[in-house]
Structure 1
Amino acid sequence: MPDSRPINIALDCRYLGPRPSGIGEMVAALVAHLPGMAPDCRFTLLRAADAAGPLSGAANVREVVVRAAANGPVTLARLPLAVDLTGIDLFHAPANILPGGLRMPSITTVHDIMWLTHPKWCNPSLWGRVERVFYGHGITRALGRSARIATVSAATRDAIAAHAPHVAGRLAVIPSGVAADFTPVPRDPAALARIGVPKGRRFVLMVGQGAPYKNHAMALRAFAAALGSRAGIDLVLVRRRGASGAGLERLAHRLGVAGRVHILPAVARADLVQLYAGAEVLLHPSLCEGFGHPVAEAMACGCPVITSDVSAMPEVAGGAAVLVDPGDIGDIAAALMRVTGDMTLRAALRQRGLARAAMLDWQACAAGYLALYRSVLAEQSPAVRLPVPA
């Protein structure tokens, strides 16, 4: 007899916590949309111990607190040691690595494969060697064992296919979106001053962690080359300070722009929206991105964007940004001079960015994952199938 119980889909939500991330944004969107899209399915959400309260109030959701870290040794070695996964029909691992010990079909979202192709872009320190082994193993397992591998951009799909051609047939592109609270707001000088931007200053904005692939040192050099003599414009970086932040401060001193470079820690979302609203331009010259959420967020807030002409950035920008060679200081500097000096260009970039951001929809992303779940489960025993909507 066919099993009449609801299909039980586990979504690993342990990236949802106090630290903001693009992966967390995606997981939050799936939690918000999936239960309502498939009311006849059951969703088991694996929640981190430091997550703030319940993740969902939907009737078809069960939440389980998992003490093991999402990127920890227990997860990599054998996740069922930390959580009972009995009765799970499909497991969705949304954060690059596939946990060990899973017996059910799985889908892994692989955002990028820099740990396999350019590990020094991620973390060049001694600890980075440990991380390289950890993530290299987890990503390689995901490519080898996942029933489907979702990517957040065609750029990542193509990078995986080039690195591991044998998995090309299991790849699916499901673009990320941008949250509704990233929206145009009036520039508030008092709020900007409270956040850490000196009152009355124009500024170029950068947003992102301090990893080498974010290319912050190159961007700082380009800022100094382009705007070092224009004392009315500052550079604001939203990122964790850390050792690399101190290095940027020393570089700013050597370049003669130290008093005009402001490194801020992670800020509240409303403050980030205000920074996007107040900036002359977002500068995002990354060497590689799985998606590049700051590009989408800035466009949604009406902030002009300068970003790289490589990896996923042109795909996300969709013709609405100025593209530069991230390895060419002169190219980045020329774009900064052009955009900050041309009010008409900034207005055009704002309008094009708003139109492009409106196409990046989290509900469409969730629908893409639900279709992928159906596809995988339909290949299993006939007793384990997701209902197909009329």
Structure 2
Amino acid sequence: MKILLVGNYLPDEQESMQRFAELMERELALRGHKVRLLRPAPRLNRSGSAPLGIAKWLGYLDKLILFPLLLKRVARRFDVVHICDHSNSFYLPSIQNKPHVITCHDVIAIRSALELESNSSTGWSGKALQKMILGGLNQAATVACVSMNTRRELLEVSKLKPHSAVVIYQGINYPYSPMPHQEAMATLSSLGKERAIENLDSTPFIFHVGGNQWYKNRLGVLRIYQELRTLPKGSILPRLIMAGKPFDEEMRKFVNQHHLTEWVVEIPNCSNEQLRAFYSSARVMLFPSLAEGFGWPVIEAQACGCPVLTSNFAPLTEIGGEAAIFCDPKDEREVARQLDALLSESEKDRDARVHGGLSNAKRFSPQKMIDSYLELYRTAMTGRSAA
């Protein structure tokens, strides 16, 4: 099968979308298919020297004017086109009725633009972009949603018929597994020396990973940790390590105001192996998101043998399974109590939770995901209903 994957504009730094497209490319090629991953190129700001505001609009020209012309030419040579991120759904007219699949990762931005999310506001240009994205999704013959919750929310905001939207769970996009203790400590020790962070390899810690989008609730993570510090402690209080994007100004202000600089460790831009070491060594992974399309860190942590405390709504309840502990992310005092209980649980209970998480993570193998997508491609090529 000749499969064209449409990926994301690299300067936008949408890392999870890039990893998904690259996973699809790698796994499909291993199955013997002819695969090409085609992305919009930064042609108008090739040097990357344009000021931020101008770079944004040059990016729009790269993505909305130049790339569709290339896609139109290239798509003719393939059997099926897979738009790997629904935020590129406006490319559908460029593939000229080719059999196609779009993966919908979440509808958070669309819901925000429609003023359905009370925690977020969207400017006029963002609303215009999300209107284009929703318009593209409305024209799609086949949409693969990454969770049941994402499918439900997509059907609520779009004109798609139920038979056009199916669920294909994400596969873990890196071979995460428990890292042996000595190897993990060596990895963290090396990282600590590289980043000038003391005792990164020797103190117990709570772990969080995420970007700075509003729904990741990273300021909430800090507030929960501060609540934990006020609870009576019978043992050493673990540090909080936060990986992902660098802290924003509001987060830095909170850390300074509450004198947390010795307790909260910021680790931006980790490699997969460094993340694996953190997951494998943490006492618990705290992930109190306010909204998600899927929730990759939950599965990554479980695959490394790390207990998970995450939010008590779909899709996180759908993804985390029975091994995860669920919380109301807005009740930060209660989340702190749940976190304290997890930190204090017996080794027997912890081992049971770890094994349950390892078992749950097996539901999300890349092989299962690729099997489902290949079947969906065949369905799209024959013109049959996806449902």
The alignment's TM-score, normalised by the length of structure 2, stands at 0.81
- CA drift of 1:207 comes to 0.4
- CA drift of 1:185 comes to 1.0
Q: In structure 2, what residue type is equivalent to 1:236?
A: I
Deviations 1:229-254 (A, max 9, x none): 65631111112225x2x321211233
Kindly report which structure 2 residues correspond to 1:155-166, keeping only aligned pairs within 5 A, or say none: 155-164=149-158, 166=160
**Alpha-carbon contact 1:325-1:332 (below 8 Å) kept:** yes
Corresponding position of 1:170: 164
- CA drift of 1:198 comes to 3.6
Percent of aligned positions that are identical: 26
Kindly report which structure 2 residues correspond to 1:107-186, keeping only aligned pairs within 5 A, or say none: 107-119=101-113, 129-134=124-129, 136-164=130-158, 166-179=160-173, 181-186=175-180
Deviations 1:292-343 (A, max 9, x none): 1111100000011001111311111111100011221123112111111113
- CA drift of 1:276 comes to 0.6
Unaligned residue ranges in structure 1 (runs of 5+): 1-6, 51-67, 381-390
Deviations 1:20-41 (A, max 9, x none): 733233222221222343x4x5
Choose 7-16 or 138-147, whichever is displaced more: 7-16
Deviations 1:145-192 (A, max 9, x none): 111011111110011122236432210100012145311012333432
Aligned mates of 1:321, 1:270 — CA distance in 2: 23
Give the secondary structure class of the aligned counterpart of 2:172. coil
TM-aligned CA distance change 1:15 to 1:175, over 3 Å: farther
- CA drift of 1:18 comes to 11
1:191 is the counterpart of 2:181: no
**Alpha-carbon contact 1:115-1:122 (below 8 Å) kept:** no
Kindly report which structure 2 residues correspond to 1:76-115, keeping only aligned pairs within 5 A, or say none: 76=64, 79-83=67-71, 84-85=73-74, 86-97=76-87, 98-100=89-91, 101-102=93-94, 103=96, 104-115=98-109
Aligned mates of 2:60, 2:99 — CA distance in 1: 22
Aligned mates of 1:266, 1:146 — CA distance in 2: 35
Kindly report which structure 2 residues correspond to 1:19-30, keeping only aligned pairs within 5 A, or say none: 21-30=15-24
Corresponding position of 2:48: none
Q: In structure 2, what residue type is equivalent to 1:194?
A: S
**Which structure dedicates a bigger proportion of its chain to helix?**
2
Corresponding position of 2:49: none
Give the secondary structure class of the aligned counterpart of 2:313. coil
Corresponding position of 2:331: 328
Kindly report which structure 2 residues correspond to 1:301-316, keeping only aligned pairs within 5 A, or say none: 301-316=304-319
2:38 to 39, 46, 50: 46
Q: In structure 2, what residue type is equivalent to 1:304?
A: P
Aligned mates of 1:47, 1:117 — CA distance in 2: 26
Give the secondary structure class of the aligned counterpart of 2:3. strand
Kindly report which structure 2 residues correspond to 1:1-390, keeping only aligned pairs within 5 A, or say none: 8-14=2-8, 21-37=15-31, 39=32, 42-47=34-39, 72-76=60-64, 79-83=67-71, 84-85=73-74, 86-97=76-87, 98-100=89-91, 101-102=93-94, 103=96, 104-119=98-113, 129-134=124-129, 136-164=130-158, 166-179=160-173, 181-187=175-181, 188-196=184-192, 198-199=198-199, 200-228=202-230, 232-241=237-246, 244=248, 246-344=249-347, 345-379=349-383
Corresponding position of 2:47: none
Compute the RMSD of aligned alpha carbons: 2.9
- CA drift of 1:228 comes to 4.6
Deviations 1:177-234 (A, max 9, x none): 2145311012333432433464122111110111110011112111111135656311
Aligned mates of 2:302, 2:9 — CA distance in 1: 25
- CA drift of 1:283 comes to 0.4
Aligned mates of 1:72, 1:152 — CA distance in 2: 27
Unaligned residue ranges in structure 2 (runs of 5+): 43-55
Q: In structure 2, what residue type is equivalent to 1:189?
A: M
Q: In structure 1, what residue type is equivalent to 2:363?
A: M
The alignment's TM-score, normalised by the length of structure 1, stands at 0.81
